[in-house]
Amino acid sequence: MLYETWVNLTEPGVQVRTVMSHDRLESDRNETLLEMGIRTGALAGINGDFFESGTSGMAVNMTIDQGKLLHHPTRAAVFGVDAANRVTIGKFGFSGLVTAANGQTFPLGVLNGHPVSYPNDLILLTPELGHWEMAAEATVLTLLNVGGNHYKVGAVEHNKNVVEAPFQDAVKLLAQGNAQAFVNQHMQLGDVIQVSYGTVPSSTHLQYAIGGGPIWIKEGQAVTDPNPPVPISSTRRDPQTGVGVTADGNRLLMVVVDGRNSRSIGLTQAQMANYLAVRGATEAMLFDGGGSTEMVVRVPGQEMGIVNQPSDGAERRIANGLFVFYQQPPQSLYRDTATHWAKPYIEELAAKNIVFPVYGDVFAPDQAVTRAEALTFIVRALNLQPVPTDQFSDVPPDVGYNGVVGAAVKHGIAAGVGDGKFAPADPVDRSQAAVMFCKALWAAGKPPKRGGTPQAFKDEEQIPPWAKVYAGALSSIGVMVGDGEGNFRPSSKVTRAEATVLTYKIMKYAGLL
């Protein structure tokens, strides 16, 4: 028996996101898929990542919730989705670094992992862990955030064998073995240290992500995943759970297949992949199968229920699931931003008269931003006074942005392009934006803090020399990051929506919001 749920990812009000059991990584007793679906008001859902079924119940792979990375990735597959329901199916690595107050560094190897499994690593624990952990005579630092990736050491504990999850607004740095020697030598109470971490490629564009695997279809072609979460059998037929997305990215297919009963013996993983391909998926992966395989659906006018027959005879208690939600879209200030991913930023800054429409109720969020528009956003955001200018032949005194250009030049945010021209109508690419928005922070008296860790972009060599230091500075504070593939895309044009978000981020960093 096979069950499908199709999701129109472009339908206004539709949201695809993951749900963690009890909204945390680990708990005394996991929820069932049905309990998660009812609690969150979902329309439909399928089970998610493989998990530690005999011990903690924690999912084994990467987790992102509400844009925050909560668990480091493994080598297995990851399903992610951004705020606009754009799906990513791929692999991620983890990179982290801890810098002591004296400048000495040590790799951060683990995010919310079990200390007993990492005897020589630095481990970061966050409140979302939700449960205590066993350790081996560990040194534990309680860290309080003092801005960006800077933390103050608020408490130091030695020889800890049981470590409670951090309280809200704090994190804990746990050290054993080689890492413990580093911490004991270079860190003490009251120090301000830096903790930086993320994925490779960057996953900052994702709002939600969970693990699974193996990946079976990539760019429309069948592939063999070299790092499946469990060994692949070419002959064993089991209950299966899979997910795929169509080539245009507009439709998501969630599938479960029953097995191990008199009605259905299940499918092999390859057969499941073939089915997903036949149904139109050009990117596809599996989730945990066997007794975890389950689909829940809420039919209009009815309570949510289980549509398949879990092979254990009852639901398993699992770590997370992938769900579909619907909420009536709210009224939008602009007719073309109602379902746009940048709508919250656009409307917040429009309400403050910082960003503006191109005409009437049309914002044109995906239109390339011009130099005049981007600088108007910045000058208004920093509350700089207009400065009339007659310096440029293409900025006449009677245009509305004349004073903006003068203010930007006066405060060192922008300059002319030569031959007495400013080129106010030219589009802004990402390299130019990096310079503009970084210089804006200097003009606001809040330059990016020194010592941050810039993002390592795959296409770093393509960033013009004059923009590299600015791109690095903004990436180190999370204002300007790469795309989902780890690229900066230096020559790509910046849209009005992206310029709005950059404006929002520098305002937040400078304390203006």
Query: How does pLDDT run across 270-301, given as a tens digit for each residue?
Result: 999 999 999 999 999 999 999 999 999 998 88
Q: Which residue in this structure is represented by tokens 């810098």?
A: 99
What pLDDT was estimated at residue 451? Answer: 63
What is the model's pLDDT at position 331?
78
For the segment 258-271, what is each residue's pLDDT rounded down to a tens digit?
Answer: 999 999 999 999 99
For residue 68, pLDDT beyond 90: yes
Contacts 24+ apart (CB under 8 A), 362-366: 362/334, 362/335, 362/336, 363/333, 363/334, 363/336, 363/337, 363/496, 363/497, 364/336, 364/496, 365/336, 365/337, 365/340, 365/495, 365/496, 365/497, 365/500, 366/495, 366/496, 366/497
What per-residue confidence (pLDDT) applies to 182? 97
| Amino acid present at 156 | V
pLDDT: which is higher, 495 or 231: 495
Segment 315-330 shows an average pLDDT of 93
pLDDT at 147: 86
Residue by residue, DSSP assigns 8-55 as ETTSTTEEEEEEEGGGSS--SSPPBHHHHHHHHT-SEEEE-S-B-TTT
> Cα 404 from chain centroid?
34
Length of the chain: 513
What is the per-residue pLDDT across 175-193, written as a single tens digit (0 to 9) for each? 999 999 999 999 999 999 9
Confidence of residue 3 (pLDDT cuts 50, 70, 90): very high
Report the C-alpha gap between 422 and 2 in whole angstroms.
62
> How much is the average pLDDT of 212-236?
92
Q: How confident is the model at residue 197 (pLDDT cuts 50, 70, 90)?
A: very high
Angle (nearest 5°) at CA 410 between 511 and 508: 15
- Pairwise CA distance, residues 178 & 225, whole Å: 33
CATH of domain 96-195: 2.60.120
pLDDT in tens, 242-254: 999 999 999 999 9
Residue type, 6: W
Percentage, residues of the chain above pLDDT 70: 99
Cα 32 to Cα 281: distance, rounded to the nearest angstrom: 28
SS in 3 state form for 485-504?
A: CCCCCCCCECEHHHHHHHHH
Residue 416 has pLDDT above 90, yes or no: yes
Token pair in block for residue 310: 């879990």
Q: For residue 19, what are the β-bridge partners?
A: 321
Q: Which of 35, 457, 79, 3 is nearest to 284 (CA)?
A: 79
If DSSP codes are grouped into helix, strand and coil, which group holds residue 202? coil
Chain-centre distance of CA 306, in angstroms?
Answer: 30
pLDDT of residue 12: 84
Is 375 within 8 Å of 404 (Cβ atoms)? Answer: yes
Residue whose pair of structure tokens reads 């044009």 in the numeric block: 493
Distance of CA 91 to the CA centre of its chain: 14
Residue 317's H or E segment, with its range, is none
In which region does residue 57 sit, left (phi positive, over 0), alpha (psi from -120 to 50) or beta (all else)?
Answer: left
What are the structural domain ranges in the chain? 2-92+204-326, 96-195, 343-509
Tell me, what's the pLDDT at 453?
Answer: 74
- Over residues 446-493, the pLDDT tens digits come to 999 876 778 888 999 999 999 999 999 999 999 998 887 889 999 999
Please say whether the beta carbons of 500 and 380 come within 8 A.
Answer: no
What are the strands of the beta sheet with 215-218, ordered from one edge?
2-8, 251-257, 240-245, 283-286, 215-218, 221-222
What is the predicted pLDDT for the residue at 211? 98
From residue 464, give the alpha-carbon distance in Å to each of 309, 375, 490: 58, 21, 8
Q: What is the pLDDT of residue 407?
A: 97
Per-residue model confidence (pLDDT) at position 250: 96
Contact 497, 342 (CB under 8 A): yes
Average pLDDT over residues 374-383: 97
How far is the CA of 473 from the CAs of 202, 367, 448, 463, 488, in angstroms? 16, 26, 6, 13, 13
What are the structure tokens assigned to 176, written together?
């054993």
**In what side-by-side order are the strands of the sheet with 295-297?**
14-20, 320-326, 44-47, 295-297, 305-306
pLDDT digits 0-9 by tens, 107-155: 999 999 999 999 999 999 999 999 999 999 999 999 999 988 999 999 9
With a threshold of 0.75, does the pTM exceed it?
no
